[in-house]
Structures are given as structure tokens and as C-alpha cells.
């Protein structure tokens, strides 16, 4: 049903997945804001034509840039003419983007979630045998650290080390690994560092995009 939601969109870029729809536009002048509002109006018209209603309470407006005149003196409205509140963060398909153009908040939340799951594993399972610990890590923790990492992979050392600390602490709990260095633990457990893993994911994703192998953005 939502396949034609972008019908009539002339000035902006619109993308939908399931029940999430995002519309974005580069803004340089107040006229650009009007054009974006015009495209939003087309989306509202589409919803009306299809007997659908958007939940205005869930609208997120993320504005990023240095043109404070535009940022402070323009606004966008919902279909019932209510101002859409600006948010410092927007979450799309499980990934947080900040209004400063970084993924720092997302990285922090990813680390918290991975640590929480790793802690639950260590509290719940008595065994510290290699096979058990690796199976639980790969099934429950690694997917959290991998999710969309091609998009948000950090370049700052502090974030890289913070992400690495999750695996560093977990592998120390594996039987007969506590006295070994982190890099020796990785070697014996057959694991990559998290930084290396993200680099491989980026390379693989880029190759698939260039070769048109499977789904890609």
C-alpha cells in the first residue's frame, strides 16, 4: 500500500520501510523550508486518499547545520497544522542519529545494551567453558555490536576502545583465559577485535554494493 507514498514528491528525498517513513531535504534558504513543507503536504494528502492517519506525536524533526537564522526562525507543521517539535536525536530502524551529525548516542546505547546482555549471560550461566561462552557471545552479544555498524562505525579512539571493552571484559571470563593478554585471548578463541570486525563488515558491504550482490542502500 505504501509503494506510492512518494507520489508527487518533487523537492525532497523520501524512503519508507514497514511503517516508518523518512523525508529529508538539504536546506539553504527559507524557500527550501517551504518546498519541504510542500512535499510534506503531498504525504499528508496521500494518507488522506488512502484513509490513513499519521501519528503526529511520533513525528521526529532532526535539524542539523550552522545556519542559525534558518534553524531558529523556521518550522514545519503536521497535517493538522501543529508545529513539529525539533528533536536532538532521531531513531530510524534502530539507529540513533544526533543533530550534530554523529552517532555518539547510538554508540553509547549499543555499549550499554551489549554490556547488559553480557552481564546477564555471566549471571545466568554457570559454565565458563570456551564453547559455551562463545556460543552465547555470538548468539546474543555480537549481533548487538554488529547491527548497522557499517553506518555508525566510530573513528574516535575513545569510542573504539569503549566498544572493544565489552569483548575485552567478556573474554576474560572464559575458562583459562584470565591471565592472557587480550590479543592472545582473541587468537585462542578465534575471534577478531571489534574494530577489525567492523572494518571487514564495511569492506564486505561495499563490495556487495559495487557488485550489486543482494540488498544494499
Question: Residue 1's pLDDT is what?
Answer: 52
One pLDDT digit (tens) per residue for the chain, 217 residues: 567 888 889 999 998 888 788 999 999 998 999 999 999 999 998 988 888 888 777 888 999 888 888 888 888 988 888 888 889 999 989 999 999 999 999 999 999 999 999 999 999 999 999 999 999 999 999 999 999 999 999 999 999 999 999 999 999 999 999 999 999 999 999 999 999 999 999 999 999 989 887 665 5
Q: Which neighbouring-strand residues pair with 23?
A: 14
What are the cell numbers at 35? 518546498
CA dist., res. 119 & res. 129, Å (int): 16
**How far is residue 10 CA from its own chain's centroid?**
27
At residue 23, φ and ψ (nearest 5 deg) are -130, 135
Cβ pair 24, 9 in contact under 8 A: no
Burial of 141 (0-12, 13-18, 19+ CB in 10 A): buried
Q: For residues 156 and 6, give the distance between their C-alpha atoms in angstroms, rounded to a whole number.
A: 37
Q: Output the pTM of the full model.
A: 0.86
> What pLDDT was estimated at residue 94?
93
| Residue 75: alpha-carbon gap to chain centroid | 25
**What per-residue confidence (pLDDT) applies to 189?**
98
Cα(46)–Cα(53) distance, rounded to whole angstroms? 10
pLDDT in the model for residue 2 = 62
Q: Which three cell numbers stand for residue 201?
A: 563488515
Distance CA 117, CA 97 (A): 23
Amino acid at each position: 500500500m505504501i509503494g506510492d507514498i512518494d507520489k508527487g514528491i518533487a523537492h525532497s528525498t523520501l524512503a519508507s520501510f514497514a511503517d516508518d517513513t523518512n523525508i529529508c531535504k538539504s536546506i539553504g534558504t527559507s524557500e527550501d523550508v517551504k518546498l519541504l513543507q510542500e512535499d510534506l503536504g503531498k504525504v499528508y494528502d496521500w494518507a488522506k486518499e488512502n484513509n490513513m492517519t499519521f501519528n503526529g506525536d511520533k513525528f521526529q524533526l532532526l535539524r542539523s547545520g550552522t545556519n542559525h537564522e534558518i534553524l531558529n526562525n523556521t518550522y514545519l507543521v503536521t497535517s493538522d497544522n501543529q508545529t513539529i517539535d525539533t528533536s536532538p536525536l532521531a531513531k530510524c530502524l534502530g539507529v540513533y542519529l544526533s543533530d550534530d551529525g554523529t552517532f555518539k548516542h547510538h554508540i553509547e546505547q549499543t555499549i550499554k545494551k551489549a554490556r547488559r546482555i553480557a552481564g546477564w549471560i555471566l549471571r545466568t550461566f554457570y559454565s565458563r567453558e570456551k564453547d559455551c561462552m562463545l556460543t552465547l557471545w555470538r548468539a546474543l552479544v555480537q549481533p548487538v555490536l554488529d547491527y548497522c555498524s557499517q553506518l555508525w562505525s566510530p573513528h574516535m579512539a575513545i569510542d573504539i576502545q569503549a566498544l572493544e571493552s565489552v569483548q575485552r571484559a567478556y573474554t576474560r571470563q572464559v575458562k583459562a583465559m584470565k591471565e592472557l593478554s587480550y590479543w592472545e585471548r582473541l587468537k585462542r578463541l578465534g575471534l577478531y577485535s571489534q574494530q577489525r570486525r567492523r572494518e571487514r563488515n564495511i569492506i564486505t558491504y561495499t563490495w556487495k554494493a559495487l557488485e550489486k550482490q543482494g540488498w544494499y542502500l
